[in-house]
Amino acid sequence: MSAIIGNQAIQKAMQFLRELEGVRLEAYDDGGGVLTIGVGHVMKAGEPRKITPEQCAAYLIADIQPALGVVGNLARTTPLNMNQMVALIAFAFNAGVPAFAGSTLYRKIEKQAPLKEIEFQWMRWKYDNGVIIDGLINRREAEFALFTCVRGL
C-alpha cells in the first residue's frame, strides 16, 4: 500500500470504486468487449467466471495498486487533499495508469492549472472504442465532483 496516500484514502478509494463500478461476482462483458468480474477486474485466461466476495476484495486490492502508485507519485510533488486523491485513484483505475500518467490531465494537475482547464481535460475521457459512452460521462462527472469537493466523503 502507498505510504504517501494513507490507508484511510485507500479504503475510501476502494469504496468509491465499488460505487462507480458496482460489484459483480459473475463474469460479464463491460460493454466494450472486455470480460470483467468483481469491481472492474479485467479477467485473465483461466480465472474463474464466478468468485466469492473475498476473491472480489483480493482482486480489487491487487488491481488498485498501480493507480495508488501513479497518484502517490503525483502527490509527492503536488498538494492533493483526500478527496482529490480518491477521485484520481478512481480515474487512473478506470482509464489505465499508463494513459493517465502520460496525459495532459496529469500534467495540468501537476502544474496546478486553473480548475476549468483540469475539468476540460478530465471530461475528455468519455470514449470507449471511439464512441462516447453515457456511463463514462456520468462517471467522469462523479469523479470530478469529488475532486472539487473540499469536504470529506
Q: Is 21 a catalytic residue?
A: yes
Q: Are 47 and 37 in contact (CB under 8 A)?
A: yes
Helices (H), the chain: 7-21, 53-77, 82-95, 97-101, 104-110, 115-123, 134-148
Of the candidates 21, 119, 141, 143, the residue annotated as catalytic is 21
49-68: average pLDDT: 97
**Which pLDDT belongs to residue 4?**
76
Judged against a pLDDT cut of 90, whether residue 12 lies above it is answered with yes
The identity of residue 91, as a single letter, is F
- Per-residue pLDDT tens digits for 80-98: 999 999 999 999 999 999 9
Look at the alpha carbons of 59, 61, 67, 73 in this order and tell me if their dihedral is positive or negative.
Answer: negative
pLDDT-based confidence at residue 3 (cuts at 50, 70, 90): low
Q: Are 106 and 100 in contact (CB under 8 A)?
A: yes
* CATH class label, 7-148: mainly alpha
Q: Where are the domains of the chain?
A: 7-148
pLDDT-based confidence at residue 151 (cuts at 50, 70, 90): low
Distance, CA of 153 to CA of 151 (rounded, Å): 7
**Which pLDDT belongs to residue 153?**
52
